[in-house]
Structure 1
């Protein structure tokens, strides 16, 4: 197992392999197994840079230096001796003054150049007298230092450019960046997601973005809903390329993340019942509600009628969502027109097929599905209605308050879903309702499934305590 020999680094190929490269200590032998002076010099400088007194031939043979210790992330070519990465120089576990000395000396050389005064030299000749302006010669050492300084600045600027291009290095040490741009709580969560989809992302010799950058582009779109032209500017590619990447990676994420939205086994539910459910709702299997997403007005009159929501006063599509008592999303329906009632959606989709005898379903007053739930030998619990009465009884008021205390968790999950992925709060283009010719699901169906799957990747919403 390769490990990094640099003091206090500790990177290994097993733990950090996907995000680090590991390089051998240079050998002093060439391809003909003869000692090479340039290779020997480089080997000595590498060993000197490590500053370790416990190095043996065995450790030098099997030890490695990781990409963290090079400005460009890898060593320079053997012949490129002026390159700052000819020897590891970054994060070596001790304070190095090499670059500061070079910088100081190069500044001195530049200052001396500015201070050079033109010195007239008078040559008295028999024929005529002429003034010559001669600058003192610049030594090779000064030029060498200036070149090294320029190379170092070049590699540092390249490293900064890499950070601005949303590479893995931009996220690896910043959970804050990960959360802001992707909605995932830590880089470890992002790494797991990338490993899940990496093998399905296809890149060619003409691809401008790496596999990781393509994933990040889609997550940023879901998280912040930046326009395609904005994303194109950020990733240095055209709007058409961004659109193509978004829809292709969305398909991959949908294929992988739909398995994260599962109806849990009843025994698992009973084993992990949160405290707020134990006393009155210990048999709860699912809490359901509907939420709506704004869309553009369809040009077709019939479609416009079906998508008009009297509740939102806007054209919308509507989804049925179900969560477990622990707060995990266990069901999400396909999109329905905003005009559809909660009752119609619940009975039309395959939600009821998941119920088993003895299940308890918690819902709001609008879910008039008692008969449908009872046909599954399950029980529906909703807040009490007045039903012509002037007011509810004291028991009904208390029962409603107790139910509202636990049913509010589904509203919390919907709120987190919409807050974390801004695309669900904005008005989506009508093209998102289209389906591929051989597909039963529209793009908006897949988009919502992906967002729900990403929510389930995070920590539990409801504590067991």
Structure 2
């Protein structure tokens, strides 16, 4: 045979070899297959081994052949099942791992969400707490009842009144008569007025404090002064004689008995220079050297203001004011009036069957005699109380120290008093609400409110 010929086609050994495999080879192959499947169907193989020993050689050959084929098939199935089981196990493991990862991821996501929610909740709580704190601070700084409550020093500084209870009493007396305001409460209207009287703050400063316009502040101040004047003006009251005699301090009784009814003096408030020549001449004060309005004030021996006149031009004399302000009509026979030497009012007072006590002066002589000196010293010592009350009024309400604009000197509409007259009388009313400067409270006494 020419195997190198291109037309050569193999014709031998084209099928399976007819040489049969020996029993030992088959046994070795079966053993390897059994080992490969890991002892799969071990009981079946043992049974088959016992059956193989009982059959003949030919039957054994056929059986072995059949068994080989069967075991080959079983081996393939076992290997397949083993692979499938391994794959399933791996898949199960992978699924478990994926499930664990999913659970962990879910847990982490939930924790992240929880952390975010916690942070948001914490931020919201902090914001609310901060808002509450800011609101509390704002309430403390806002000029209203809460600003002055439980703080007597603030009440004294901002209003001039001795305590918060008296301030509330004043407010309760006037709140029903105060006009409504879109910007301010009734208490703020009263507080604004008292602060302007007490501290004489610039108008722009008050506008910024109460967040109102200049026009609103002026109208609120005027309206509140009108209400205070109408509702509280009666507190400047001339007491009955039996009330006076029941409250005369011992130092007055030692010298004049219980006859002293009033101590009088005048004080002046500076004003702007009027443009009208007549008004300019009427308001010019030789004593102060400027344009003023003059008021006569009278106090009881106990130190309470019992009379305040209307305003007079600074050029008016003390005698002229005394004769025309209406104080003489309040005197009773036997009353004693303590006055300064500028009050030459013996004749007018004498017409009321009363007596004026004025400190003696030299009247052109070199010196006074001993008796006049003693009388002068006694009268001056007691008359000084009215100057102390006037000084307290002007120091407590600093607006009385400032220069008043001309518009305050004009009569109010439908009335015969000016806005300055109302301001002065309201200040006198507020002074009467404070402790007396004549009789000092004892060391153990406190404010009754």
TM-score (norm 2): 0.72
Corresponding position of 2:135: 158
What does the per-residue CA deviation read over 1:415-465, in whole Å, with 9 as the maximum and x for residues that have no partner? 000000000011111111011231110000000000000000112222289
Q: Structure 2: where are the runs of 5+ without partners?
A: 1-110, 442-449
Whether contact under 8 Å (2:179, 2:223) holds in the other structure is no
Q: Which of 208, 225, 236 is the equivalent residue of 1:233?
A: 208
Whether contact under 8 Å (2:235, 2:429) holds in the other structure is yes
Q: Which of 360, 374, 378 is the equivalent residue of 1:384?
A: 360
Corresponding position of 1:215: 190
For residues 435 and 362 of structure 1, what CA distance do their matches in structure 2 show?
32
What does the per-residue CA deviation read over 1:43-82, in whole Å, with 9 as the maximum and x for residues that have no partner? xxxxxxxxxxxxxxxxxxxxxxxxxxxxxxxxxxxxxxxx
Q: Which of 238, 241, 265 is the equivalent residue of 1:266?
A: 241
Corresponding position of 2:180: 203
For residues 400 and 267 of structure 2, what CA distance do their matches in structure 1 show?
10
Whether contact under 8 Å (1:257, 1:449) holds in the other structure is no
1:104-253 mapped onto 2 (5 Å cutoff): 136-137=112-113, 138-204=115-181, 207-253=182-228
Secondary structure, counterpart of 2:255 in structure 1: coil
Corresponding position of 1:441: 417
Corresponding position of 1:281: 256
Corresponding position of 2:25: none
Matched, 1:326 2:311: no
Whether contact under 8 Å (2:148, 2:154) holds in the other structure is yes
Matched, 1:351 2:324: no
Corresponding position of 1:421: 397
Corresponding position of 2:61: none
Please give the root-mean-square deviation of Cα atoms over the aligned residues, in Å.
Answer: 1.4
Corresponding position of 2:379: 403
Whether contact under 8 Å (1:181, 1:219) holds in the other structure is yes
Corresponding position of 1:71: none
For residues 311 and 158 of structure 1, what CA distance do their matches in structure 2 show?
54
Corresponding position of 2:434: 458
Whether contact under 8 Å (1:295, 1:427) holds in the other structure is yes
Task: Sort the Cα spacing of 1:420 and 1:235 in 2 relative to 1 into closer, same or farther, 3 A.
Answer: same
What does the per-residue CA deviation read over 1:142-169, in whole Å, with 9 as the maximum and x for residues that have no partner? 3223212211211221222222221111
Q: Which of 296, 301, 312 is the equivalent residue of 1:336?
A: 312
For residues 437 and 464 of structure 1, what CA distance do their matches in structure 2 show?
42
For residues 156 and 211 of structure 1, what CA distance do their matches in structure 2 show?
26
What does the per-residue CA deviation read over 1:256-296, in whole Å, with 9 as the maximum and x for residues that have no partner? 12110000111111111112111112210000000000000
1:20-169 mapped onto 2 (5 Å cutoff): 136-137=112-113, 138-169=115-146
Whether contact under 8 Å (1:272, 1:464) holds in the other structure is no
For residues 213 and 155 of structure 1, what CA distance do their matches in structure 2 show?
23
Segments of 4+ moved more than 6 angstroms = none
For residues 160 and 236 of structure 1, what CA distance do their matches in structure 2 show?
17
Structure of larger gyration radius:
2
More deviation, 182-191/284-293: 182-191
Corresponding position of 1:294: 270
Structure 1 residue 347: Cα displacement: 0.2
For residues 436 and 387 of structure 2, what CA distance do their matches in structure 1 show?
15
Whether contact under 8 Å (2:161, 2:434) holds in the other structure is yes
